[in-house]
A and B are shown apart, each in its own frame.
Chain A
Amino acid sequence: MWKHLPLWKLLSTVELSTSITKSKAIFSSALNFDYSKPHYIKFFSSGLYFIILFLFLFFSDPSPNLTFQSLQQPKTTTDAMALARRSSGLLKPLSTASSSSLLQRRPFSTDDTTTITVETSVPFTGHNCDPPSRSVDTTPKELMTFFTDMAFMRRMEIAADSLYKSKLIRGFCHLYDGQEAVSIGMEAAITKKDCIITAYRDHCIFLGRGGTLLESFAELMGRQAGCSRGKGGSMHFYKKDACFFGGHGIVGAQVPLGCGLAFAQKYRKEDHVTFTMYGDGAANQGQLFEALNMAALWDLPAILVCENNHYGMGTAEWRAAKSPAYYKRGDYVPGLKVDGMDAFAVKQACKFAKEHALKNGPIILEMDTYRYHGHSMSDPGSTYRTRDEISGVRQERDPIERIRKLIFAHDLATEKELKDIEKQARKEVDEAIAQAKESPMPDESELFTNVYRKGYGVESFGTDRKELRATLP
């Protein structure tokens, strides 16, 4: 067996990757989430597929030594045992490979040179354009970065949930958990000079753009250390040096702003693009189509990204839009439909879109994604959708789980190491919260700062020609 190892391993990985993609395609198509209809029938049918696939793989494995007995025997390494114990039939062939290739296994990888090719879960669907290929090149370092960053984002949102319940965060709080892949994939495809503007579900986008956990939590709690000095709140996170333009409360109002950013980029002949993000609820706003028309007219490098989580607060997409195919809504503007829970699909789509926008003008990306929480913390999220649906998506399409499986499939880290990363995320989030709690509330004088900018002509108003200063008792 050792002699034949390299060839066998190659065969099994090829077979594994095709089987993974095959099964994922089956999942995604079987669970082509029609949010108006019950899904348990589809779950059962996909479960059946899974069982058949597992049996197929198990009995068709090329290795002559792979028998049921050999799999059941304890392996030499705890990692392989953990892998073998995982009830995923897909990974069984690989478990023997890992046990036998212990000598060749890389440690927790920061390898930047090896290229791994990953297939996206579903092919892209294009409108008025040729969709990009399903194969995405990545490196082990990128895979691990994806996992780490998404773990941090997920942890931050869960922590924000409990902070809200203990009344340290007040007002509106819109959480992004479930949608992390959109932010992560986008960041992997672009630079910090490309602009991003989004609506109120902005905590994780801010983090992706380089914001720190301390700035986020301090802003959520209204402290001075916050990114907007405590004066903006959950819906107004900004980071100018990373070209992150917020953070907007009024639905759809950020889309014309985004086209304005693209206009400035074209005006200054920069080689950068703007990603204007909005939701399926905002897709019905008139100002979106007005802005899109202008962007198309003047070939602005604007990429409109519709994060379609299928619910506009309490209204499902099919109850608000005659045509929920948001990527087609641009009509003359090309569009691309992307599985927003697959970070690599998002990365590929954003790369494709950036190239397109710089040459041909605007393009619409529809990210098919899902939010686990309700619309905001005051919405339970269960009056307009079933708990089965939420847990179903969490089981089948969770972005972090997908990356985890890929990491195991390519043998980049052990389960324990990934758990350590998650623990580290939890620890850092807790530290950031503690630090944010120590930050003071804004000073009284901050009420009047940043209303205007100092400069020419501003200092001569007031009854005595000095700047008007109101005093508080």
Chain B
Amino acid sequence: MASIFQGVGAATSLSSSTSIETKKFHFCSRRSPSERKACFVVVRSGGVMVDGGLNRIGGRAEQLVTNAVAAKADTPAAATASKPGHELLLFEALREGLEEEMERDARVCVMGEDVGHYGGSYKVTRGLAQKYGDLRVLDTPIAENSFTGMGIGAAMMGLRPIIEGMNMGFLLLAFNQISNNCGMLHYTSGGQFKIPVVIRGPGGVGRQLGAEHSQRLESYFQSIPGIQMVACSTPYNAKGLMKAAIRSDNPVILFEHVLLYNLKERIPDEEYVLNLEEAEMVRPGEHVTILTYSRMRYHVMQAAKTLVNKGYDPEVIDIRSLKPFDLYTIGNSIKKTHRVLIVEECMRTGGIGASLTAAITENFHDYLDAPIVCLSSQDVPTPYAGTLEEWTVVQPPQIVAAVEQLCR
């Protein structure tokens, strides 16, 4: 169970049940991929379906946000069976997306530390090694630089590997492979080789994991040309982005967050793939545009409750695509509200927020009524002590204060 909003307490952003120690699952009315309808759906950001279908799904995209709060486990089975879709946790959604893609394309394989027999340190690949064998779900030794390079080499030969970093911070050891080989080979070979890898792993500030295990690598990877970066934040977009990343012929880095693995949501039974370059409208509004991604989305939504009570109407956009930015959605929002607040977990210096600020200023300067405010983590290594760690990261009261300041 992963209840995120626990009252409007100041620093109780995410309850402890989102830690990796939680073992409670809730499998209700879960159907295997093969039994699902063959209906293929691409969902755009506004929840409007491309090939036209049930209007309910469009409505659900709006509902998905508020229903990202966990549904209680004590709803009777009859009620859950009557609602469409099935409920699962974020890591299960990732696994579902992964499994569907592995089923669909035999070239898709997984490699990483303890992904096979152990089932993945965050259970994303649990059961896959038993199903697909040891070579397709490969347990590597602890040698990140080498197995990332190995994945890229395999991709050059036509496979579609998914490389898992047990923690994004470990991928710093593979930075050379990601930057030079993964990002540049398509260019330097004149288009001969394509590198359809997906590099994924949990990052971000967790629950007192220490400085080296709380890193936000999106700020380091963002200048690598040739790669795409996406960040998932709900089970719905986790599965959709995972599938889209695997199908993409470009190298995609999928940023998950350590604290979001136990989020529960009801997702559609139909197969769906999300657009890699699109942002998600979480809550439409009029007064201010709040741009965020990953875990900070939940801090923002918690702050939004307070703001609504105070009479503000924030428009919250989960940018999802960290490279390239979806400037279309963002621009439309700015043209409406004229005020921008960026809330991110990266450090102030050189983070996603810094690049986004520059991009917005360049493109939409005339539409802004006030300078862009960017709330980021402090430029310090993440301390271990719980209170210090809380102060490192942006908390909902700071978001509320910033909006009030901006809308003065």
The reply to whether A448 and B380 contact each other, CB–CB distance below 8 Å, is yes
User: A230 contacts B211, CB within 8 Å?
Assistant: no
* Contact A319 B386, CB 8 Å, known A447-B378, A447-B380: no
Interface assignment of B145: CB less than 8 Å from any CB of chain A: yes
Give residues of chain B (136-151) contacting chain A, Cβ–Cβ below 8 Å. 139, 141-143, 145-146
Q: Select which of A228, A230, A250, A378 is within 8 A of B212 by beta carbon.
A: A250
Q: Which of A131-160 contact B (CB under 8 A)?
A: none
Interface presence of A302 (CB below 8 A): no
Asked if B383 is at the interface of the complex by the 8 Å CB criterion, the answer is yes
Q: How many angstroms between the C-alpha atoms of A344 and B172 in the bound complex?
A: 39
Complex CA–CA separation, A217 to B319 (angstroms): 42
- Mask, A436-471, CB within 8 Å of B = 1, is 000001101011100100000000000000000010
Task: Say yes or no for A313: interface residue by CB 8 A criterion.
Answer: yes
Across the interface, do A230 and B384 meet the contact criterion of CB distance under 8 Å? yes
State whether A312 and B384 are in contact (beta carbons under 8 Å apart), knowing that A232-B210, A232-B211, A249-B213 are contacts in the complex.
no
CB atoms of B388 and A230 under 8 A apart? yes
B385 and A286 form a contact (CB under 8 A): no
Contact with A along B355-392 (1 / 0, CB 8 A): 00000000000000000000000111101111110011
Chain B residues with Cβ below 8 Å from A472 are 391
- Residue A240, interface by CB 8 Å: no
Residues of B in contact, count (CB < 8 Å): 42
A110 within 8 A of B: no
Decide if A314 is an interface residue (CB 8 Å cutoff): yes
| CB–CB B210/A233 < 8 A | yes
CB-CB < 8 A to A223: which residues of B?
385
| CB-based contact A451/B380 at 8 Å | yes
Q: Would you call A11 an interface residue if the criterion is a C-beta within 8 Å of the partner chain's C-beta atoms?
A: no
Q: Which of A219, A236, A249, A315 contacts B139 (CB 8 A)?
A: A315
Inter-chain contact A315/B388, CB cutoff 8 Å: no
Chain B 141-182, CB-CB to A under 8 Å as 1, else 0, gives 111011000000000000000000000011011000000000
**Docked pose: A208 CA to B92 CA in angstroms:** 43
CB-based contact B146/A171 at 8 Å: no
Task: Evaluate contact between B210 and A281: CB separation under 8 angstroms.
Answer: no
A312 touches B142 (CB 8 A): yes
Interface residues of A in 206-236 (CB under 8 A from B): 219, 222-223, 228, 230-236
Which of B142, B143, B385 has a CB less than 8 Å from the CB of A441?
B385
B251 at the interface (CB under 8 A from A): no
B379 touches A447 (CB 8 A): no
Q: Do A442 and B208 touch (CB < 8 A)?
A: no
B17 close to chain A: CB less than 8 A: no
Chain B contacts with A in 106-140, Cβ cutoff 8 A: 113-114, 117-119, 121, 139
The answer to whether the Cβ of B206 comes within 8 Å of any Cβ in the partner chain is yes
Partner of B113, one of A172, A253, A313, A451: A313
Q: Provide the residues of chain A in CB contact with B206, threshold 8 Å.
A: 171
- Majority-rule SS of A interface residues: loop
Find the A residue at minimum CB distance from B209: A171
Is the CB–CB distance between A231 and B383 below 8 Å?
A: yes
Would you call B20 an interface residue if the criterion is a C-beta within 8 Å of the partner chain's C-beta atoms? yes
CB of A321 within 8 A of chain B? yes
CA distance A253 to B144 in the complex (A): 12
Given known A-B contacts A384-B118, A446-B388, A249 and B210 have beta carbons under 8 A apart? yes
Bound Cα distance from A171 to B383, whole angstroms: 11
Q: Is A167 an interface residue (CB 8 A)?
A: yes
Q: Which B residues are CB-close (under 8 A) to A219?
A: 384
Give the shortest distance, in Å, between B146 (CB) and chain A (any CB). 6
Cβ–Cβ contact A320 & B141, under 8 A = yes
Distance of A322 from chain B, by nearest CB (Å)? 9
A162 within 8 A of B: no
Rounded to whole Å, the gap between the CB of B139 and the closest CB of chain A is 6
Nearest-neighbour CB distance to chain B for A60, whole angstroms, equals 49
Q: B139 to A232, Cβ gap below 8 A? A: no
Q: Are A447 and B143 touching (Cβ within 8 A)? A: no
A64 at the interface (CB under 8 A from B): no
Whole-angstrom distance between the Cβ of B393 and the nearest chain A Cβ: 11
Least CB distance, A6 to chain B, in whole angstroms = 57
**Residues in chain B near residue A384, CB distance under 8 A:** 117-118
User: Are A230 and B114 neighbours in the complex by a CB distance under 8 Å?
Assistant: no
Provide the residues of chain A in CB contact with B16, threshold 8 Å: 167
Is A80's CB within 8 Å of the partner chain B?
no
Task: Specify which chain A residues have a CB less than 8 angstroms from the CB of B20 in the assembled complex.
Answer: 378
B350 vs chain A, min Cβ distance (A):
15
| A286 adjacent to B146 (CB under 8 Å) | yes
Q: Which residues of A contact B385 (CB under 8 A)?
A: 222-223, 230-231, 441-442, 446
A282 to B113: give the CA distance in the assembly, Å.
12
A170 near B: Cβ within 8 Å? yes
Quick check: is B285 within 8 A (CB to CB) of the other chain?
no
- Does B380 contact A314, Cβ atoms closer than 8 Å? no
A281 proximity list for chain B (CB < 8 A): 141-142
Knowing A249-B212, A286-B145, A320-B141 are in contact, say whether A448-B378 is a contact too (CB < 8 A).
Answer: yes
18 A–B contacts from the bound complex (CB under 8 Å): A170-B207, A170-B386, A171-B207, A171-B209, A171-B384, A172-B210, A222-B386, A230-B385, A233-B384, A234-B210, A234-B384, A249-B211, A253-B173, A319-B117, A320-B142, A444-B387, A447-B378, A448-B380
Q: A171-B213, A314-B118, A446-B385 are in contact. List 4 more A-B contacts (CB 8 A).
A: A171-B384, A230-B384, A232-B384, A447-B388
Q: 9 tightest A-B contacts by CB? A: A233-B384, A314-B118, A222-B385, A249-B212, A284-B141, A171-B208, A170-B208, A230-B385, A231-B383
Task: Name B residues whose Cβ lies closer than 8 Å to a Cβ of A.
Answer: 16, 20-21, 113-114, 117-119, 121, 139, 141-143, 145-146, 169-170, 172-173, 206-213, 378-381, 383-388, 391-392, 397-398, 401
| Residue ranges of A at the interface with B (Cβ–Cβ < 8 Å) | 167, 170-172, 219, 222-223, 228, 230-236, 248-253, 281-282, 284-287, 312-315, 319-321, 378, 383-384, 441-442, 444, 446-448, 451, 470, 472-473
